[in-house]
Structure 1
Amino acid sequence: MAELESVKAAVARAEEQLTDASATVRSRDRSVEVTVGPQGELAGLTFLDGKYRSMNAPQLAASVMEAVGRGRAQMARQVMDLFDPLTRPSTTVPELRGVDIDWERIYGSDLLDEAGAGRTRRPGDRLRDEIHEDADDAHGERGRS
């Protein structure tokens, strides 16, 4: 029971930390800075050094979208890191296997790929990796003929 109370307290702490969490990222061309909240929402947008004045609309839009995507990926990584200890099995109570969080359902596979390879792996991930490797091998062999 004490272990369960400890998990509940850890969840409450994590949720509290997320209320003030954000990620601030600049576009690669350094023309845009965005701040993204814990749910991936755009919380701030700044155009830097007047660079936007010399950009056409598609260039500026691309810079904004790139920065927002990177910010969302960074925020997703922070959230996953924060909740990672809760996904692990208890060392003292074998019945508590940890919370199973479907990050792909929450964030989508594209965002998870951006968030980095250090994400928590699930049992089916190895099979998906092997399928992707087989697909890559098939493409590579076609190019050699």
Structure 2
Amino acid sequence: MTESIEKRFADARKELEKAEAAVAKAEAELRASTVVLRSRDRAVEVTVGPQGELAGLRFLDDRYRTMHASQLAASVLEAAGEARAQMSRRVMETFQPLLAGSPAVPEIAGTQIDWENIFGGIDLRPEAKASGGDRLRDEINEGEED
């Protein structure tokens, strides 16, 4: 015996409300999250916010005083790029369970995520990080040679 249309509609509405609540909770948690990361050379520490924005920058142990400008810039870019990549992974892992459809109501597709809203228009994909950050680092290093 098949379920009534009203029952299926009520079930679908409940599933939709659960999904909306889960998305709102995930967005609220991510809005308050940051990633703090030190560069490999331990010269700088960056804090990146949930949309990949640089929210803090600290120079550690006065190492920056003995570094060339291009070295310091490369340390900042390296730390910021890795922190952004970590934040991107955190965001993707947070929303991944919401992307699948509901087994209880197969007619409801997975939640559509507004990545533009979450990332604020910043492209945090690993391939964007690699090309953009390396290109800027190359320009900084080329400037030192002149």
Q: TM-score higher than 0.5 here?
A: yes
Which of 25, 49, 63 is 2:37 aligned to?
25
Q: Counterparts of 1:103 and 1:22 in 2: how far apart (Å)?
A: 17
Question: Aligned match of 2:125 in 101, 109, 112?
Answer: 112
1:47 partner amino acid = F
Structure 1 moving runs of 4+ over 3 Å: 100-108
Q: What TM-score, normalized by structure 1, do the two folds share?
A: 0.71
1:71 corresponds in structure 2 to 83
| Residues 61 and 21 (structure 1), Cα distance of their counterparts in 2 relative to 1, 3 Å cut | same
SS in 1 for 2:47: strand
Secondary structure at the aligned position of 2:51 is classed as coil
In structure 2, distance between residues paired with 1:107 and 1:81: 18
The count of aligned residue pairs is 113
Runs of at least 5 residues in structure 2 that lack an aligned partner in the other structure: 1-12, 129-146
1:34 aligns with 2:46: yes
Tell me the percent identity. 59
Give distance in 2, aligned partners of 1:15 and 1:26: 26
1:35–1:42 contact (8 Å) kept in structure 2: yes
TM-score by length of 2: 0.70
Higher relative contact order structure (alpha carbons within 8 Å, sequence separation ≥ 6): 2
Q: Does 1:89 align with 2:101?
A: yes
TM-align CA RMSD: 2.2
The CA distance in 2 between the partners of 1:48 and 1:96, in whole Å, is 51
Report the Cα offset of residue 113 of structure 1.
2.5
Unaligned runs of 5+ in 1: 116-145
Deviations along 1:50-93, whole A, 9 cap, x unmatched? 11011010000000011110111111111111111110111111
Residues in 2 aligned to 1:99 and 1:26: alpha-carbon distance in whole angstroms: 35
Amino acid at match of 1:3: E
* Inter-partner Cα distance in structure 2 for 1:3 and 1:21: 27
The structural deviation recorded for 1:2 is 0.6
Match of 1:98 among 91, 110, 114: 110
CA distance in 2, matches of 1:83, 1:71: 19
Q: In the superposition, relative to structure 1, how do residues 95 and 107 fare at CA in structure 2: closer, same or farther (>3 Å)?
A: farther
Which one of 15, 20, 43 corresponds to residue 55 of structure 2?
43
